[in-house]
A and B are shown apart, each in its own frame.
Chain A
Amino acid sequence: MSALIATLWLINVSLDTGGQLAFKAAASDPRAGDGIARWRYMASRPWLWLGLLAYALHLLSWIAFLSLVDLSKGILLASINMVAIMIAGRLLFREKLSPLRVVGILLVSAGVAIVGASG
């Protein structure tokens, strides 16, 4: 991978993870209530908007990334996003990482490393 492609890949993972975490923070606020009131509460707080901003930027970084690598390679390299999000969920929201989840994370990471190392 060239430096530019690697940088775009890292930006892509960061924005996807950041966006998901922002949505999680928006959605899991217990003060939000229900129904329309819940959406109005979420719209009045920054998390939902930060999540949407991260997603919009993620879209651009993904298009830039895909214009430099084959789609079949890009989609495999992007599998690391689910690993990053699970680890972030573990760190920030204390989500459980069962042994099977750890095995899954290691396998997905290994697969991404195999594809990434192939140049």
Chain B
Amino acid sequence: MSAHTPTSARTWRFYLGGFALLMVFDTLVQVSFKLTGTHAFPPEASWAWVLRIVGHPWIYIALIGYIGSFFTWMSLLKYAPIGPAFAATHLDVVSVMLASAWIFHEALTPVRLLGAGVIMLGILCLALAESGAHPEHDAPTEAKGALGVMAGD
């Protein structure tokens, strides 16, 4: 994995486009999981529940989104520095919350917004802690998992 430094405007557009696409896929996955759970309700430790899950299209849409997210990652991985990349994998918290309010009419209560703000600050610290780390050598397991390092050698 080579560590390229972003220089041109073209590179930045590639990053931004890639991360935006990743966020769209991640949000699609979570919204589809929520819809899967709603359709299969109530959750039970039984095959009947698993059959209800696989009997609706949402789980397949979630899996398609998951595959899309994975390949977007693998493409970004070649160039993106690990710090910002780490942050970007977890920034989907923001887009998923917005989608929840929009699609499911969930209340973004002050407590949730405060919690989200504190979590984002934490992610920012973790992202800064990763800058300069090389994924294959000293990045933590979490960052490697998020980056799909396992799948690409």
Contacts and interface: CB of A to CB of B under 8 A. Distances in A.
Q: Do A and B come from one complex?
A: yes
- With a 10 A CB-CB cut-off, give which of A34, A63, A107 has the most chain B CB atoms: A63
- The main secondary structure of chain B at its interface with chain A is helix
Contacts, number: 164
A23 interface: yes
Interface string A14-27: 00000011011011
A66 B93 contact: no
Contacts of A115: 111-112, 115-116
Interface residues of B, number: 55
A106 B122 CA distance: 7
Given A101-B129, A107-B118, A24 B144 contact: yes
Contact of B37 (A23, A64, A73, A95): A64
Given A89-B140, A100-B125, A70 B106 contact: yes
Given A24-B150, A27-B149, A100-B128, A86 B140 contact: yes
Which are the 8 A-B pairs with shortest beta-carbon distances?
Answer: A67-B37, A107-B122, A104-B125, A111-B119, A111-B118, A108-B122, A64-B43, A115-B115
